[in-house]
Amino acid sequence: MTQEPITIIAFSMLFIPFTLVVGHFLRTRGDVFLRFVFGGESTAVSATNFLLNIGFYLLCLGLLLLNIGSPSRPGSWLGIIQEVAIRLGLCVTVVAVLHSVNVLVLALLIRRNRTLIEEPPPQLGATRRATAHSRPRRAAKPRARRR
């Protein structure tokens, strides 16, 4: 048996459990965070959580397939360990960066929702429309400066 299949098997045996455990935590803990983001709207929370989980698993599947398909020629057992560590490190980094981007976008949604709640939009009849009977507004007079 050559050492390339050992590298692929070792990577797969470490990456698949990583994917399942992190996916489980994202699904359960993400639900709590999404309820806060969407203000308890259960339909939006469950749909967003489902789509984020599907995206996570597809990303991990793609990373797994890319790593299985990329050739490696480790020369020794130390080479196998280094190859698996590099592949796992790159995959975890990619997953972490994209997860951070998702959390940042959701945090921006929270901030936007809070500003919309604090500053409600103007009501539809609140602006004054000019009509034929209304007088035009006078320009403000400049104030005299005190010396």
Q: How far is CA 52 from CA 59, 63, 75, 77, in A?
A: 10, 16, 39, 37
Count of the separate structural domains present in the chain: 1
pLDDT tens digits, 48-68:
899 999 999 999 999 999 988
Rounded to whole angstroms, the Cα distance separating 69 from 8 reads: 9
For position 126, what pLDDT does the model report?
56
95 occurs within a structural domain:
yes
For position 69, what pLDDT does the model report?
84
123 occurs within a structural domain:
no
pTM confidence score: 0.68
100 occurs within a structural domain:
yes
58 occurs within a structural domain:
yes
For position 136, what pLDDT does the model report?
57
85 occurs within a structural domain:
yes
Domain range for 72 is 3-118
pLDDT tens digits, 22-53:
999 999 988 888 888 888 788 888 998 999 99
80 occurs within a structural domain:
yes
133 occurs within a structural domain:
no
